[in-house]
């Protein structure tokens, strides 16, 4: 194992313990009672607080705060810890809280978990291994996440919920009950197109003639009884002189995933 690489502008607590090959960048902070296993990397401005213990090859990206105080009104500075295994990746602005005494005093993470930017793990959570937390995924306190779970972007999970092995939670889904293992969970979506962004286009100095052509095009697309192909054909027939409508037509014809209607 190679020697440690500590930037002279990093800040290390006197009680921090560093394994072999640890790399710590400029302005990174390693607090008191932090143990970093061999090969771990703190990028510039990453913060790790303790008491906390990490296994080998964990990677902390800029502005992540891992092992911070629990976000709990009753916390009064009592001893509580974070324990993590090997190979976890904490991307930018990830926050992982230590435990609370009333919750058992410990937040725990397994191995090879990937926490994307702005994801959060609250106090006293128990995370297994090989999980994926997509950007903005948020766990309240006391949540259990078993192995191989994916928590989609901007998903909040209520305290004390359990997420079973291999579950997949789609983006923007609110979880207030336990999620069974092997399941796929997603909030029903009713995204609708409400027509032309008339006010915004007026502010961009679209003329009355341009707006009128686009309004007619959107009536054909959304308000008529025509399907999309029929609406496009009618636009070409009746509004083909409008460059804006031609742009709209080209965009719809190029859509590989369909359009919001």
Task: Give me the half-sphere count of Cα atoms (radius 13 Å) on the Cβ side of residue 160.
Answer: 1
8 A C-beta contact, residue 55 and residue 74: no
Q: What is the dihedral of CA 6, 11, 16, 21, to 10 degrees?
A: -10
Q: What angle do CA 25, 97, 62 make, to 5 degrees?
A: 25
Q: Please tell me the distance from the alpha carbon of residue 159 to that of residue 100, in angstroms, as a whole number.
A: 14
Spatial CA neighbour of 142 closest among 163, 156, 124, 127? 124
Q: pLDDT over 70 for what percent of the chain?
A: 100
Beta-carbon contacts of residue 145 (< 8 Å; ≥ 6 apart)? 125, 126, 127, 128, 131, 139, 151, 162, 163
Which residue segments constitute the domains of the chain, with CATH numbers given? 5-185 (2.160.10.10), 198-253 (1.20.1180.10)
Would you state the structure tokens that stand for residue 174, as one six-digit string? 């609110």
CA atoms within 13 A on the CB side of 129: 7
17: left (phi over 0), alpha (psi -120 to 50) or beta: beta
Cα–Cα distance list, 68 to 39, 79, 123, 135, 219 (Å): 22, 12, 9, 19, 54
DSSP label at residue 6? E
DSSP state of 136: T
pLDDT digits (tens, 9 = 90+) for 202-226: 999 999 999 999 999 999 999 999 9
Question: Residues 52-65: pLDDT tens digits?
Answer: 999 999 999 999 99
Active-site residue set: 123-124, 141
Q: Which pTM does this prediction carry? A: 0.88
Q: pLDDT 10s digit of each residue in the chain, 261 long?
A: 578 899 999 999 999 999 999 999 999 999 999 999 999 999 999 999 999 999 999 999 999 999 999 999 999 999 999 999 999 999 999 999 999 998 899 999 999 999 999 999 999 999 999 999 999 999 999 999 999 999 999 999 999 999 999 999 999 999 999 999 999 999 988 888 999 999 999 999 999 999 999 999 999 999 999 999 999 999 999 998 999 999 999 999 999 989 998
Q: What local confidence, expressed as pLDDT, does residue 3 receive?
A: 84
Predicted confidence at residue 1, as pLDDT, reads 53
β-bridge partners, 169: 151, 185
């Amino acid at each position: 194992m190679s020697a440690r690489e500590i930037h002279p502008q990093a800040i290390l607590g006197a009680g921090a313990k560093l394994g072999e090959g640890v790399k710590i960048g400029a302005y990174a902070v390693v607090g008191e009672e932090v143990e970093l296993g061999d090969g771990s990397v703190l990028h510039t401005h990453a913060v790790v607080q303790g008491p906390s213990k990490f296994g080998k090859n964990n990677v902390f990206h800029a502005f992540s705060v891992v092992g911070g105080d629990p976000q709990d009104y009753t916390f009064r500075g009592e001893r509580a810890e974070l324990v993590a295994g090997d190979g976890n990746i904490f991307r930018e602005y990830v926050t992982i809280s230590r435990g609370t005494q009333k919750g058992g005093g410990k937040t725990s993470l397994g191995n090879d978990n990937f926490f994307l930017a702005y994801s959060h793990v609250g106090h006293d959570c128990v995370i297994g291994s090989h999980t994926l937390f997509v950007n903005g995924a948020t766990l309240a306190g006391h949540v259990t996440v078993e192995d191989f779970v994916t928590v989609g972007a901007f998903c909040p999970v209520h305290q004390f919920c359990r997420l079973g092995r291999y579950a997949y939670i789609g983006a923007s889904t609110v979880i207030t009950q336990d999620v069974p293992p092997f399941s796929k969970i997603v909030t029903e979506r009713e995204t609708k197109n409400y027509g032309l962004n008339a006010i915004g286009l007026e502010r961009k100095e679209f003329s009355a003639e341009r707006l009128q052509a686009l309004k007619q095009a959107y009536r054909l697309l959304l308000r008529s009884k025509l399907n999309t192909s029929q609406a496009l054909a009618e636009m070409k027939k009746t509004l083909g002189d409008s460059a804006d409508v031609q742009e709209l037509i080209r965009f719809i014809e190029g859509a590989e995933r369909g359009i919001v209607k």
